[in-house]
Amino acid sequence: MTYYDQENQFLRQQLQKEIPILTALIQKLYQDLDRKFHLNGAKIPVTFGFETDSLGSYTRQSAHEKEHFHFSLLFVAYGVNNPLSKEDRIDLFKHEYAHYMQYNMRIPEKYKWQAGTHGSAWKYCCSLIGAAPTPYYKAGEALLDHNYDKVLKSRIHDKTVPIRDTYQRQQKAQKQKDEVVQYKIGDNITHPKFGDGIVEKINLRSGGVHLHIRFDGEVKCIDQKWLMRRKYT
């Protein structure tokens, strides 16, 4: 056995001593989240390994594997060189709990538009528990103020599966609908503030239609969508 192998074996033995502490930390965090969301994540076994290319994972129950959380001691342990900060370590544990949540709680339909392990359902779960909604670890992410609303509406990155991108398809359909002219020049309309008016000019724009309407000698430019939503005639 080389000196490097001996040193590596010693490090692993030292890191394994941290397993009880890390397990207790994870289970306490998951117990708190379980109480909040009426789940049972803290009852799921937590295992540890020495992976160099993966920080953690959540595995669902299947015919071949038992349900469990798994974390690499080379990242989550305290005794390694350049250990994770307290905030990043907790964020990693929340990251995997969010994966558990997406398969064990009801996800609103509007958050099912993006498929995938790190799709919109997972991001929605991240928003509930304050986890960074990013698929890959980046130091300091846990300290950022994340715009979950923006993340939950961002375009799916995999362009090979556009049919799954329900949110974007709905937005595109609405845009096309808004671009259909519903009035014609000479139409009479009644506005709750400006009174009776006549359409004098119609401008087609990307995502909408602008109507130039004359009200008692004054012309107002009004978005057709505004009139259609309120069904003014």
Q: Which domain holds residue 218?
A: 188-230
For residues 128 and 28, state if they share a domain: yes
Q: What residue spans of 1-147 are helical by DSSP H?
A: 3-16, 19-37, 73-76, 86-104, 120-129
pLDDT band for position 146 (50/70/90)?
Answer: low
| CA–CA distance, 131 with 92 (Å, rounded to integer) | 8
First to last CA, the chain: 88
For residues 203 and 105, state if they share a domain: no
For residues 91 and 160, state if they share a domain: yes
**In this predicted structure, which of 1-5, 21-25, 152-156, 171-175 has the lowest mean pLDDT?**
1-5
* The pair of three-digit structure tokens given for residue 69, joined into one six-digit string: 């959380």
Question: Looking at residues 50-62, what average pLDDT do you find?
Answer: 88
| CA–CA distance, 124 with 141 (Å, rounded to integer) | 17
Inside any domain, residue 106? yes
For residues 133 and 106, state if they share a domain: yes
Inside any domain, residue 180? no
Compute, in degrees rounded to 10, the torsion defined by CA atoms 134, 140, 143, 148. -20
For residues 68 and 154, state if they share a domain: yes
Inside any domain, residue 177? no
For residues 162 and 49, state if they share a domain: yes
| Spatial CB neighbours of 28, under 8 Å, sequence gap ≥ 6 | none
Provide the pLDDT for residue 140. 54
Question: Looking at residues 21-47, what average pLDDT do you find?
Answer: 96
| CA–CA distance, 80 with 51 (Å, rounded to integer) | 13
- The predicted-structure confidence for 205-227, as pLDDT tens digits, reads as follows 877 888 999 988 889 898 887 77
**What's this model's pTM, rounded to 2 decimal places?**
0.61
Provide the pLDDT for residue 3. 44
- The predicted-structure confidence for 177-188, as pLDDT tens digits, reads as follows 778 888 889 998
For residues 16 and 126, state if they share a domain: yes
For residues 195 and 83, state if they share a domain: no
Instruction: Answer yes or no: are the C-beta atoms of 182 and 229 closer than 8 Å.
Output: no
Compute, in degrees rounded to 10, the torsion defined by CA atoms 219, 221, 223, 226. -50
For residues 194 and 152, state if they share a domain: no
Chain centroid offset of residue 19 CA: 30
Provide the number of structural domains found in the chain.
2
